[in-house]
Structure 1
Amino acid sequence: MIQVNNLKKSFNGEEILKGITATFEKGKTNMIIGASGSGKSVFLKNMLGLFVPDDGEIVYDGVALNEMEIEEKSKLRTEMGMLFQHSALFDSLNVEENIMFPLRMFNRMRKKERREKANEILERVNLVNLNKKMPSEISGGQQKRVALARAIANNPRFLFCDEPNSGLDPKTATVIDNLIQEITHERNITTVIISHDMNSVMEIGETIVFLKDGKLAWKGTNNEIFKTDNEAVTDFVYSSNLFKKVRIAQNEGF
């Protein structure tokens, strides 16, 4: 679980995060949504420890990040997995080598053990027999699955996903969504996802944090977002055809 308490962050005198308090639950897909400029990326970078908050705290399983010693922070980083928006695979490494990279960096496994682990994870993300392929030789959806496999290679307690469906067609995006949710449940990971894709929100948004102008404007689930009268939320999501259809169906009593 990650608890964020009264988080504030400013740059050059401009307050970007204005006292956000939120809880991201273990074993669930927790989503952060909001318009461009709402503070999502800055929020995520604070949780990752890339930025230092001006005020407030971020608590990982009961331990505040700002109270951790250097060794504790280093250990925490090894327990984080990151799925980047554009996959961020190493072009010069093949699929197997990409997945083995964090195992080599943060684990004392022998090379044979690393390869066995990589193959095990490849099977989990339904990418068998692609080990020796280069990233340029596989599709965007396959690249995303390789990136997810790399993110979970070290069995992280916390998984962060930045726009995991960016650039994917709707069918492939659904595959990635379901895979992230399944792995979250199987491994009891605290998963935090930044997304602008309302289909993803409806599909796997077990908890949703909606930011507007650096503040927490709403929180709830993918079921509750259909029913909310929060104007900021409805303004943000109403352009989604899926949202329109569900609202119409609810109003007609289906």
Structure 2
Amino acid sequence: MIEVIDLKKSFNGTEVLKGISTVFEKGKTNLIIGQSGSGKTVFMKCLLGLITPSSGSIRYEGRDYAEFSLEEKRDLRQEMGMVFQGSALFDSKTVEGNVMFPLEMFTKQSQEEMQERVDFVLKRVNLVDAHTKYPAEISGGMQKRVAIARAIVMKPKYLFCDEPNSGLDPKTAILIDNLIQEITEEYQITTVVNTHDMNSVMEIGEKIVFLKDGLKEWEGSSKDIFKTDNKAVSNFVYSSELFKKVRQMYLEERA
């Protein structure tokens, strides 16, 4: 679990985060949504420890990150998996090499142990025959699955995904969403997804935090978002044709 308490961040006198408080629960897919400039990226970087907040606190399993020693911060970072927007795979490494990289860097496991773990996570993301392929030889959806495999190979407690569906067709995006949710539930990871994709909101939005101008404007689930009378949320989600159709179906079922 990650608890955020009155988080603020300023750059050169400009306040980007203006006092955000929320809780990201273990075993759930927690989504951060909002328009460009809402503070989503800065918020996630604070959660990752890449940016130091101006004030407020971030607590991991009840402990304030600001009170961690350097060694404890290093240990925490090794418990974090990250799926980047562009997958961020090494072009010169095979699929197997990309997934094995964190194990080689941060563990003292034997080659046999590393190979066993890599085989396991690649099988988990349905890439059993891709070990020797290079990123340029596989599709965008497969690259995302490699990125997810690499993110979970260290058995993280926390999984962060930055626009995981960027550049994917709708069908593949749904498959990636479902994979993220399955892994989150299966391994009881605290997953935080930064997204603007309303498909993701509908598919896996167990907890949604909507940011607007650096503030937490609204939070709830994908079911709650159908019923909200918050105008800022409505204006954001109504821009999606998918949401309009799904909401109309929901209202008709409730009538």
Q: 1:114 to 1:243 in 2, by over 3 A?
A: same
Q: Secondary structure at the match of 1:85?
A: coil
Q: Deviations over 1:212-251 (max 9, x none)?
A: 0000000000000011010000000001122111332344
Which residue of structure 1 lines up, in the alignment, with residue 180 of structure 2?
180
Query: Which amino acid is the alignment partner of residue 69 of structure 1?
Result: S
Query: Which amino acid is the alignment partner of residue 142 of structure 1?
Result: M
Which residue of structure 1 lines up, in the alignment, with residue 17 of structure 2?
17
- More off after superposition, 158-167 vs 114-123: 114-123
Which residue of structure 2 lines up, in the alignment, with residue 238 of structure 1?
238
Tell whether 2:115 aligns with 1:115: yes
Tell whether 2:15 aligns with 1:28: no
Mapped partners of 1:106, 1:115: distance in 2: 15
Mapped partners of 1:245, 1:107: distance in 2: 48
Q: 1:245 to 1:85 in 2, by over 3 A?
A: same
Structure-1-length-normalised TM-score: 0.98
Q: Secondary structure at the match of 1:252?
A: helix
Percentage of pairs with the same residue: 64
Q: Deviations over 1:170-204 (max 9, x none)?
A: 00000000000000000000000000000111100
Mapped partners of 1:251, 1:216: distance in 2: 26
Q: Deviations over 1:124-169 (max 9, x none)?
A: 0000111010111000000000000000000000000000000000
Unaligned 5+ runs, structure 1: none
CA drift at 1:253: 4.3
Mapped partners of 1:226, 1:132: distance in 2: 45
Mapped partners of 1:137, 1:253: distance in 2: 45
Tell whether 2:85 aligns with 1:61: no
Q: Secondary structure at the match of 1:16?
A: strand
Which residue of structure 2 lines up, in the alignment, with residue 48 of structure 1?
48
Over the aligned positions, Cα root-mean-square deviation in angstroms equals 0.8
Which residue of structure 1 lines up, in the alignment, with residue 196 of structure 2?
196
Q: 1:253 to 1:114 in 2, by over 3 A?
A: closer
Q: Secondary structure at the match of 2:90?
A: coil
Number of aligned residue pairs = 254
List 4+ stretches of structure 1 deviating above 3 A: 250-254
Q: 1:104 to 1:227 in 2, by over 3 A?
A: same
- More off after superposition, 19-28 vs 101-110: 101-110
Which residue of structure 1 lines up, in the alignment, with residue 249 of structure 2?
249
